[in-house]
Structure 1
Amino acid sequence: MFRPIDDLLGQYGGQLLASMDEKYWNGGKLGGKTYAVPNYQISAMRPSLVIQKRFLDKYKLDVGKLKRIEDIEPFLKQIKEGEKGVVPFGTTRGFYTNLLYGIDWNVPVYRNDPTPTVLPDVTAEMRANFVLMHDWYTKGYINEDAATLKDAAQAYNNGNTAVWFDITGKPGSEVEFKAADGGYDVQLVPVAGSVFVGAGNSMNAISRTSAHPERALMLLELVNTDKQLYNLLVYGIEGKHYTKTTGNFIRTNPDSGYFTNTDWVFGDIRNEYLPEGSPPGKIEDTIRANEEAAVSAFDGFEFDPDAVKTEIANVRAVNDEYYPALATGTIDPARFLAEYEDKLAKAGAGVIVQEKQKQLDAWLKAKGKK
Structure 2
Amino acid sequence: MKLKKWAALTLCGVLMLSMLTACQGDSTESESVVQSEVSSSVADPVQAAIQARKDSGEYPKLVIAFPTVTGRPAGADRIQEKLNAYTEEKLGISVELEIMDMASYPQSMTLMLSSGEQADIFNAVSMGYSACANKGYCLDMGEDNLLETYGANIMEVLNPLYIEASKVDGIQYGLPQNRDMASGQGGYVIPKRFLDEIGFDYESMRTEESSDYIYTDIETIDEIYAQLHEKYPDMHVFLPNKSSHLRNVLQYDGLGDNFGVLMDPLNTLEVSNLFESEEFLETCKRYYEWNQNGYISKDALTDTATPQEQIKAGTGISHLCALKPGILQSQEQATTLPGQPTEELVIFQVLDDFMNSGAINGMNWCINSSTEYPVEAMQVLNLLYSDSVAANLLAWGEENVDYVKTDDGHITFPEGVDASNAEFSHSVNWLFPNQYITEVWVGQELNVYEETEKFNDNSKKSKALGFSFDNSSVMTEYTALVNVQNEYINQIMLGFVEPEAALKEMNEKLYAAGLEKYMAEKQKQLDVWAAANGVA
Tell me if TM exceeds 0.5. yes
Matches of 2:387 and 2:463 in 1, distance apart?
A: 34
Alignment of 1:169-188 (within 5 A): 169-183=323-337, 184-188=343-347
Alignment-derived partner of residue 165 in structure 1:
320
CA distance in 1, matches of 2:492, 2:138: 41
Deviation at 1:20, TM superposition (A): 0.5
* Residue 410 of structure 2: aligned partner: 249
Alignment of 1:231-310 (within 5 A): 231-253=392-414, 255-256=416-417, 257-258=422-423, 259-310=425-476
What amino acid maps onto 2:182 in structure 1? Answer: A
Q: Is the 8 A contact 2:403 2:412 kept in 1?
A: yes
Residue in structure 1 matched with residue 156 of structure 2 by the alignment: 18
- Is 1:117 aligned to residue 270 of structure 2? yes
The one-character-per-residue Cα deviations of 1:165-194 (angstroms, maximum 9, x if unpaired) are 113x11002232233224433333322121
Partner of 2:246, secondary structure, is coil
Alignment check: 8 A CA contact 2:361 2:468 kept? no
The one-letter code sitting in structure 1 at the alignment partner of 2:188 is L
Match of 1:39 among 177, 182, 185: 177
Instruction: Compare 33-42 and 207-216 and name the one that shifted more.
Output: 207-216
For the residues of structure 1 that align with 2:139 and 2:249, how far apart are their CA atoms? 32
Q: Which residue of 2 aligns with 1:29?
A: 167
What's the counterpart of residue 67 of structure 1? 216
- Classify the secondary structure of the residue corresponding to 1:221: helix
Please state how far the C-alpha of 1:364 moved relative to its aligned partner.
4.5
For 1:88, which of 213, 233, 237 is the aligned residue? 237
Structure 1: which 4+ aligned runs deviate by more than 6 Å? Answer: none
Correspondence for 1:221? 382
Is the contact made by 2:153 and 2:385 (CA closer than 8 Å) also made in structure 1?
no
Query: Could you tell me how far 1:362 is from its partner in structure 2?
Result: 4.8
Deviation at 1:195, TM superposition (A): 1.7
Structure 1 354/267 Cα, relative in aligned 2: closer, same or farther at 3 Å? Answer: closer
Q: Secondary structure at the match of 1:165?
A: strand
Q: What does residue 116 of structure 2 align with?
A: none
Q: Which runs of 5+ in 1 are unaligned?
A: none
Measure the CA separation in 1 of the matches of 2:461 and 2:319.
26
Q: What is the TM-score with the length of structure 2 in the denominator?
A: 0.60
Conservation of the 8 A alpha-carbon contact between 1:88 and 1:162: yes
Structure showing greater relative contact order (alpha-carbon pairs closer than 8 Å, 6 or more residues apart): 1
Query: In structure 2, do the counterparts of structure 1 residues 21 and 99 end up closer, same or farther at CA, with 3 Å as the change threshold?
Result: farther
**Equivalence for 1:321:** 487
In structure 2, give the amino acid aligned to 1:73. D
Q: What RMSD, in angstroms, separates the aligned Cα atoms of the two structures?
A: 3.1
- Residues matched between the structures, number: 365
The Cα of 1:238 is off from its aligned counterpart by 2.8
Q: Which amino acid letter does the alignment assign opposite residue 222 of structure 2? A: E
Find the structure with the greater CA-based Rg: 2
The alpha-carbon distance between structure 1 residues 87 and 202, as it changes in their structure 2 partners (threshold 3 A), is farther
Seen in structure 2, the aligned counterparts of structure 1 residues 251 and 363 have a Cα distance that, compared at 3 Å, is closer
1:24 Cα deviation after fit: 2.2
Three-state SS of the structure 1 residue aligned to 2:189 is: strand
Are positions 1:140 and 2:294 aligned together?
yes
SS at 1:164 equivalent: strand
Identity of aligned residues (%): 25
Does residue 108 (structure 1) correspond to residue 269 (structure 2)? The answer is no
**Alpha-carbon distance in 2 for matches of 1:217, 1:365:** 30
Residue 200 of structure 1 corresponds to which residue in structure 2? Answer: 361
85 and 204 in structure 1: CA distance in 2 versus 1, 3 angstrom threshold:
farther
- Secondary structure of 2:309's aligned partner: coil
By how many angstroms is 1:44 displaced?
0.8
Cα offset, 1:134, TM superposition:
1.5
